[in-house]
């Protein structure tokens, strides 16, 4: 969630009631509306040196369908599936043996918003597809 996207979609209210750090106020209402066309997830991850946290929620058919899930971690999760991988499963992601859904859909290829934005190139050149 870049500052520009945050500013464009917030309604000015406090969006932290679901436990996310960066969910814009009112954005959960938009996610619910968009989910009438198909399930949609909002996820957050913050890590440094292998220690951090994840949060995830999934909306489907106009309502919150999963979560919000959260999990602080020190290298390994205390639950069998991380919050983001659980949300990706709900969206239909499939993994291969030895990887999780996060890796399977390519989210591990970039480590920051800036990395994702810079990978898009110009006029569609060099875009990651997933």
Amino acid 127: pLDDT: 40
- How far is it, in rounded angstroms, from Cα 111 to Cα 36? 30
122, pLDDT greater than 60: no
74, pLDDT greater than 50: no
Under the banding of pLDDT at 50, 70 and 90, the label for residue 79 is: low
99, pLDDT greater than 90: no
Return the structure tokens found at 45. Answer: 């991850």
- The conformation of residue 12, written as its DSSP 8-state character, comes to S
Helix (H, G, I), strand (E, B) or coil at 53: strand
Closest by CA position to 64, among listed 17, 122, 96, 21 = 17
- For residues 105 and 86, the model is more confident at 86
Amino acid 32: pLDDT: 95
- How far is it, in rounded angstroms, from Cα 119 to Cα 75? 27
- For residues 75 and 106, the model is more confident at 106
């Amino acid at each position: 969630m870049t500052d520009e996207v945050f500013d464009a979609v917030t309604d000015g209210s406090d969006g932290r009631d679901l436990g996310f750090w960066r969910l814009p106020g009112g954005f959960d209402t938009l996610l619910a509306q968009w989910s009438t066309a198909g399930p949609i997830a909002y996820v957050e991850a913050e890590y440094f040196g292998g220690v951090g946290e994840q949060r995830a929620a999934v909306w489907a058919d106009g309502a919150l369908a999963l979560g919000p899930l959260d999990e602080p971690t020190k290298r390994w999760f205390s639950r069998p599936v991380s919050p983001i991988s659980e949300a990706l499963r709900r969206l239909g992601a499939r993994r291969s043996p030895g990887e999780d859904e996060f890796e399977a859909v390519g989210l591990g290829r970039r480590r920051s918003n800036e990395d994702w934005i810079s990978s898009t190139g110009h006029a569609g050149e060099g875009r990651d597809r997933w």
